[in-house]
């Protein structure tokens, strides 16, 4: 989670002043170079604050709205983990099952890697998204429809980073494997499972696991700098993205996120994701035992055992305004941070319509402004002043 610390004051902020401060910070983020920003914060006590701000040059493409669809990238993992835990509750699989049981011969040393290790990133598997074979899809130049099995195969071509269960290391290959396990156990695709088990029951009309570039509703355009304006810190191999050119940027919203699969291909809206969090954390999607499993974390940094922790598809962190559960996600054109409280009654989402600044640490101005907005959103979620 990329959130900056802020010192809360003692007096509670009213929704009006909180909304004003968040809008000011969103405008500062746009002024720092973000093409667009969406913010939604619900403190559980009244009408949510919803904000959409965009750079003037993007208006020729789309008038950004707070309820637009966008790519949530690795926030997908929370839904994928929810599906696995639902099947565990139904006795169709167990978190202690070795991967070999469900994907025989597909994962080296699969007998020593459990489904739990995949869910909490302690498997040691190499991250497939860092393999050059995926790069053309990331850049929008390869529109093939990747399957979970194909993405998994890319990851396991590489040697593991460490022995199963010995360390923590974030790897999208874990969730490609889980996508393949879901298919094996149920006979249905991850996209169908998201639809049937989560989106339809909760009335999430704009939440779906994308397999191609198709959008289903009004959507936020995502942009990255074009090759001529790309910061020097971005590696040469990532500088030339496919898409229409706009004001020194490339509109990448027509490129497929399908290469993210069960690890990162989800599309949603701020309202839908808040409803999902509310249902998840209140026990409407998982029985108490499975929700407790999801919230059982391992340290992200072994040197900080009391620092940020990663559970099963969800992260736990501390902030001066209150502890939170959530995830973040980045895919070209879209950087999203989503958080909730223990109950799901309070939620906050910040979308920045560009992502390379975070992926490659290429724009300190955007990073500073984004951290200020993300931090303020957490404070507002807890009904505290959005102080800097």
User: What is the model's pTM?
Assistant: 0.94
Question: Is residue 246 included in any domain, yes or no?
Answer: yes
Asked if residue 1 is part of any domain, the answer here is no
Q: Is residue 198 part of a domain?
A: yes
Region of 111 (left: φ > 0; alpha: ψ -120 to 50; beta: rest) is alpha
The pLDDT value recorded for residue 385 is: 87
345 in a structural domain:
yes
Coil/strand/helix, residue 53: strand
Structural domain boundaries enclosing 303: 15-381
Distance between first and last Cα of the chain: 18
Q: What is the 3-state secondary structure (H, E, C) of 262-330?
A: HHHCEEECHHHHHHHHHHHHCCCCCCHHHHHHHCCCEECCCCCCCCCEECCCCEEECCCCCCEEEEEEE
The answer to whether 104 touches 97, Cβ cutoff 8 Å, is no
Q: Could you tell me if residue 31 is left (phi over 0), alpha (psi between -120 and 50 degrees) or otherwise beta?
A: alpha
- DSSP 8-state class, residue 239: S
Q: Return the CATH number at 149.
A: 3.40.710.10
pLDDT score, position 307: 86
The rounded average pLDDT for each run of 10 residues, N- to C-terminus, in the chain (388 residues) is: 37 61 97 98 94 98 98 98 98 98 98 98 98 97 96 98 97 98 98 98 98 97 97 95 97 98 98 98 98 97 89 96 97 98 97 97 96 97 81
pLDDT of residue 10: 34
User: What pLDDT does residue 387 have?
Assistant: 59
Task: Provide the sign of the torsion angle of the four alpha carbons 275, 278, 284, 288, taken in this order.
Answer: positive
Residue 208 CB-half CA count within 13 A = 13
**Contact status, residue 325 vs residue 192, Cβ threshold 8 Å:** no
At 98, list the tokens: 């070795």
In a domain, 387, yes or no: no
Task: DSSP for 325-385, please give it.
Answer: EEEEEEETTEEEEEEE-SSSSSEEEEEES--HHHHS---HHHHHHHHHHHHHHHHHHTT--
Is 102 strand, coil or helix? Answer: helix
Q: For residue 2, is it within any domain?
A: no
Does residue 388 belong to any structural domain of this protein?
no
The residues near 159 (Cβ < 8 Å, ≥ 6 apart) are: 126
Domain count, the chain: 1
């Amino acid at each position: 989670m990329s959130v900056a610390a802020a010192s809360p004051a003692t007096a509670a902020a009213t929704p009006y002043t909180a909304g004003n401060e968040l809008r000011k910070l969103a405008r500062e983020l746009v002024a720092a170079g973000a093409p667009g920003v969406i913010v939604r914060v619900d403190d559980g006590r009244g009408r949510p604050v919803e904000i959409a701000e965009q750079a003037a040059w993007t208006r020729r493409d789309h008038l950004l709205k707070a309820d637009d669809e966008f790519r949530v990238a690795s926030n997908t993992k929370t839904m994928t983990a929810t599906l696995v835990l639902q099947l565990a509750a139904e006795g169709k699989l167990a978190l202690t099952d070795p991967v070999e049981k469900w994907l025989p011969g597909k994962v080296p040393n699969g007998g020593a890697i459990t489904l739990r290790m995949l869910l909490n990133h302690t498997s040691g598997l190499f991250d497939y998204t860092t393999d050059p074979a995926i790069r053309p899809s990331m850049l929008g130049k390869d529109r093939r429809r990747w399957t979970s099995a194909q993405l998994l195969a890319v990851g396991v071509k590489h040697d593991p980073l460490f022995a199963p269960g010995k360390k923590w290391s974030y790897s999208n290959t874990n969730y490609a494997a889980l996508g393949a396990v879901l298919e094996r156990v149920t006979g249905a695709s991850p996209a169908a499972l998201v639809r049937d088990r989560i989106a339809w029951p909760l009335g999430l009309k704009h939440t779906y696991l994308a397999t191609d570039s198709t959008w289903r509703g009004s959507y936020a355009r995502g942009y990255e700098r074009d090759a001529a304006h790309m910061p020097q810190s971005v590696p040469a191999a990532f500088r030339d993205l496919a898409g229409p050119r706009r004001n020194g940027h490339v509109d990448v919203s027509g490129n497929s996120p399908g290469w993210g699969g069960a690890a990162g291909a989800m599309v949603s809206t701020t309202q839908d994701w808040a409803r999902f969090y509310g249902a998840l954390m209140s026990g409407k999607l998982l029985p108490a035992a499975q929700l407790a499993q999801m919230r059982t974390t391992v340290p992200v940094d072994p040197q900080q055992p009391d620092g940020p922790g990663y559970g099963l598809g969800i992260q736990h962190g501390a902030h001066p305004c209150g502890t939170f559960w959530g995830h973040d996600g980045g895919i070209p054109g879209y950087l999203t941070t989503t958080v909730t409280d223990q109950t799901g009654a309070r939620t906050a989402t910040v979308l920045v319509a560009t992502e390379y600044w975070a992926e490659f640490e290429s724009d300190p101005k955007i990073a500073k402004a984004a951290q200020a907005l993300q931090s303020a959103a957490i404070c507002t979620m807890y009904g505290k002043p959005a102080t800097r």
